[in-house]
Structure 1
């Protein structure tokens, strides 16, 4: 049984033969190895194009900005998984990546969709500040969460976010999406009645969109970055095991309550 409409199955990414490996129309060994950095190669794989200088610069910057942030739940999951199965590095890495969703790490994708929606409204001739205010009012009214704002550690600003914006301005890549991100920050303060921290996810999305990366590729950047961070933690876990220690502390922090003792 075929699900969906029949169509020709194709790929534009890679084909390997006995003599060569062709990637995006280029010979891997002769054209790419020894010429491209991994960041440049990642851009080629992801988009089909080699990056401009600014695209390469900001991909490097964003990968560095989001790769590591301490003992996050994703890191704890990875390290405890490796403690339970020391031979399964790939399983432990997967355990960490599976926790990269819309609450942790994956928020930049939601920010990108919000920014794209805002630009579609601007195309209809609406004022940018009015659009930002209306969109955030709608989110607040429906009880939704505003992606790209708020942080449990970084206050009153997220230094990573501010540095991305600073460098985007300095290199002249700040465009309509970064401008809208700043409009969102001003609107958030008005709608929520207090300044909200713009976290790193919003500038990640904004600068990628201003550099002409498709919105569908945004989440790939923090996922690749966190893969590097997770592998560092797993290498350390092999040398300095703390996975079971974290598990013991987690168990000690949770109080068991018998339902027969009241409270439902």
Structure 2
């Protein structure tokens, strides 16, 4: 906690006065509204700085890339919540976002921390390919899965990843973290004995780190983006309800077997 000159806790984000709102030292109405777009504003809120053109471009690109992906668990949870409580739009959105963990949506943060740790070894003098091969071997030997690789739908490649990396190369922003991600892809293929697609979570993390974003900020992108997707699903849910159908489908797909989970009943 930072303490100000008066001995009180300090926030650097925003304050509302009787006649104005100040955000990151800028007048909301006089300086920001009508001048900056929402993506630029998000960058300002997160970092305290207005973005460079590349930061704005790729933040916008990544938000578009991850906002929607069909009937994912987050969207199903939100739809079923709204079906149960049609007046709780905010609760339904929250139900979807609560699922942003290490399996769905939250993987990009794990990818960022993995790349950050690997890059420290590269900065200390190791070769990126050797570091990536070590990480892949260690993960495989421990029986783990490397975040950012594999996808239940997209094979042999994740088209979102390919487009992100293509644009990163074209605009000259691909740096050491994108290089490490590509080396990890090779290391994974060698270690697992088969190519696994680099999924969009790894591409998001690599490009954001190369653009100077902190790893702690990376998870904000899928959360913010997927909120927009959730709102679209919930608008459709109100017009053409699917929530109870999804619940009934799950119920119908389950085979009931009485007894204890270990089979001893």
The interval holding the TM-score normalised by the smaller chain is: over 0.9
Q: Map Cα deviations across residues 50-90 of structure 1 (whole Å, 9 max, x no partner).
A: 01100010011000000000000110000000000000000
In the TM superposition, residue 135 of structure 1 has moved relative to its aligned partner by: 1.2
Q: CA RMSD in A?
A: 1.5
Task: Indicate the residue corresponding to 1:189 in structure 2.
Answer: 189
Task: Indicate the residue corresponding to 2:216 in structure 1.
Answer: 216
Q: Which stretches in structure 2 are left out of the alignment for 5+ residues?
A: none
SS at match of 2:178: helix
1:141 corresponds to 2:154: no
1:157 corresponds to 2:184: no
Q: Map Cα deviations across residues 183-230 of structure 1 (whole Å, 9 max, x no partner).
A: 000000111111111000101000000000111100000000000000
Name the count of aligned residue pairs: 260
Asked if structure 1 preserves the Cα contact closer than 8 Å seen for 2:78 and 2:96, the reply is yes
1:45 corresponds to 2:45: yes
Task: Indicate the residue corresponding to 2:58 in structure 1.
Answer: 58
Quote the Cα distance in structure 2 between the aligned partners of 1:21 and 1:242: 41
Q: Map Cα deviations across residues 156-202 of structure 1 (whole Å, 9 max, x no partner).
A: 00000000000000011110000110000000011111111100010
- Which shows bigger deviation, 134-143 or 161-170? 134-143
* Distance verdict in 2 for CA 1:62–1:81, change over 3 Å: same
**TM-score computed with the length of structure 1 as normaliser:** 0.96
Quote the Cα distance in structure 2 between the aligned partners of 1:194 and 1:14: 50
Asked if structure 1 preserves the Cα contact closer than 8 Å seen for 2:75 and 2:230, the reply is yes
Quote the Cα distance in structure 1 between the aligned partners of 2:180 and 2:231: 35
Quote the Cα distance in structure 1 between the aligned partners of 2:131 and 2:73: 35
In the TM superposition, residue 263 of structure 1 has moved relative to its aligned partner by: 3.0
Q: Which stretches in structure 1 are left out of the alignment for 5+ residues?
A: none
TM superposition outliers: structure 1 runs of 4+ over 4 Å: 4-8
1:256 corresponds to 2:256: yes
Quote the Cα distance in structure 1 between the aligned partners of 2:89 and 2:140: 42
**TM-score computed with the length of structure 2 as normaliser:** 0.95
In the TM superposition, residue 5 of structure 1 has moved relative to its aligned partner by: 11
Quote the Cα distance in structure 2 between the aligned partners of 1:101 and 1:133: 26
SS at match of 1:259: coil
SS at match of 1:22: strand
1:41-190 correspondence runs (5 A): 41-190=41-190
Asked if structure 1 preserves the Cα contact closer than 8 Å seen for 2:2 and 2:10, the reply is no
Quote the Cα distance in structure 1 between the aligned partners of 2:113 and 2:14: 29
